[in-house]
Chain A
Amino acid sequence: MKEMLIILFSAILVDNFVLSRFLGICPFLGVSKNLKTAMGMSFAVLAVMVMASAITWPVFNLLLAPNGLSYLQTVIFILVIASLVQIIETVLKKAIPSLYQSLGIYLPLITTNCAILGAAILNIDNEYTFLQSIANSLGAGLGFMLALFIFAGVRSKVDHADVPKFMKGLPITLVSAALVSISFFGFKGLIEKLFG
């Protein structure tokens, strides 16, 4: 249990997927312009990430590894994720149209989100057990949400700031992302303090 909590918290705060591992930067910069879209995107990422890990882990450990096919990891994982996203979209459209209305547009964009494939591969590389994988991807998704939430707030201020012309737009956004990323250094050593 303690180990699960350590994995969960380090994925959220210490090794934040966006700010220290650089996974999922595109949606981080793309949707953080307003809080509502940022939250929609992060819920979709969180849900797909946990589900993708729950499927890719057994696929690798029960199907690929015992048959000596681990080199197919990348190909199989991306296909699993692509089909999973497609299935979620179809089911959501039929079953919960209201949720589809609010999250639907983010779903197709998730297939090529490197955070999802990244989480699936990291689970295998770190040789996590099934439950640890779930904890890791849950933490990764929550960390993504936290980073996006904070950054959407920062950006709403930055957008009104008077910056030099050539820094307008993406450059100033990236510089403020650097500052947010520095602030996450504050969490270094948190795990040892809490659980050590």
Chain B
Amino acid sequence: MPTPKISLKNEFSKGLVRENPVLRLMLGVCPTLAVTTTAKNGIGMGLAATFVLVSSNIVISLLRPVIPEKVRIPAFITVIASFVTIVQMLMQAFLPDLNDSLGIFIPLITVNCIILARAEMFASKHSILPSIADGLGMGAGYTATLFLMGTIREVMGNGSFMDIKLPFIGTGTIEPMLIMILPPGGFFAYGMLIALSQKLAEWLEKRNPDIKGDDSCAGAINDQTACLLCGACSLHKGMDEAAAEMRDKADNQKKDGDIK
């Protein structure tokens, strides 16, 4: 293992670009599309998810020796759901407006694949400091992407930024495109951002062949109970292949268990 300082920095920075959860790992797509109608909602959702991510990473990393292997997914989900409840109550009390506009997607952070995937892939295997760094990095990448998408959609669809009306737009010369803040605009903006990030990744790889994008499957959990379907894994490979891989992994796990 390299010196802790370097690895902590690396754990943090990988979430921002190289393994950006939304654009590279394709995790947590539902809230990404649903709440990014304004830049403010994007930041709010991103911060709420980051809080849950970091806290659950801490707790899961600490409980690592205690949680039995077989029931770890339900245990993780319970930990995550508890933190989501805390966020929900805090938001209801202090940010009621944001709570109303995010609505159902606050409790749905529970089933956001990013958090479960990081718990399974990272926090359950590493000690507390790297887990915090990983949570913060992934959370920052998630928040930044949501903010970017929220900005694009709000500026194009509503002609405003952070609820402040922009000049020139909507005064008769340039009309905002309402469709961008409606559901189809979400799909469209996300598709375009992924296309751009693919282009960018290709360019980066060409410029510096040493830095290769990590295996995109890193984000998807490969356990039976998991959201394998959710990650970039299934999206690139297709369902049948992903399902076959999942069966293999499950069989191997069973075999390992028998040997133990």
Contact = CB atoms under 8 A, between A and B. Distances in A.
Nearest to B80: A78
B243 A26 contact: no
Given A26-B30, A78-B81, A117 B188 contact: no
B186 interface: yes
A78 B190 contact: no
Contacts of A23: 30, 34, 108
Contacts of A73: 85, 107
A135 interface: no
Q: Is the interface of B mostly helix, strand, loop or mixed?
A: helix
B82 A22 contact: no
A169 B24 CA distance: 13
Given A30-B230, A30-B235, A105-B246, A112 B104 contact: no
Interface range for B: 35 or more
B77 A117 contact: no
B78 interface: yes
Contact of A72 (B30, B85, B229): B85
B133 interface: no
Nearest to B201: A166
A33 B228 CA distance: 15
A74 B236 contact: no
A109 B85 contact: no
Contacts of B186: 22, 178
Contacts of A105: 243, 246-247
Nearest to A182: B184
A71 B199 contact: no
Contacts of A30: 229-230, 234-235, 239, 242
Nearest to B200: A166
Given A78-B77, A121-B107, A37 B113 contact: no
Highest count of chain B CB atoms <10 Å: which of A24, A74, A169: A74
B236 A169 contact: yes
Contacts, number: 152
Contact of B26 (A114, A125, A170): A170
Contacts of B78: 75, 78-79
Contact of B229 (A82, A109, A174, A175): A109
Nearest to B79: A75
A37 B239 contact: yes
Given A71-B89, A79-B74, A181-B184, A33 B238 contact: yes
Interface string A152-192: 00000000000000110111111101110110010000000
A22 B229 contact: no
B33 A113 contact: no
B211 to A, nearest CB: 19
A112 B113 contact: yes
A97 interface: no
Contact of B108 (A33, A114, A174): A114
Nearest to B224: A108
Contacts of B82: 75
Interface in B65-111: 74, 77-78, 81-82, 84-85, 88-89, 103-104, 107-108, 110-111
Nearest to B89: A71
A181 B238 CA distance: 22
A82 B113 CA distance: 15
B226 interface: yes
B37 to A, nearest CB: 11
A178 B89 contact: no
A111 interface: yes
B187 A174 contact: yes
A21 B31 CA distance: 10
A105 to B, nearest CB: 5
Interface of A: 19-27, 29-31, 33-34, 37, 71-75, 78-79, 82, 105, 108-109, 111-114, 117-118, 121-122, 125, 166-167, 169-175, 177-179, 181-182, 185
5 contacts: A25-B33, A33-B238, A111-B77, A174-B191, A178-B184
> A-B pairs with the 3 shortest C-beta distances?
A174-B191, A178-B187, A22-B34
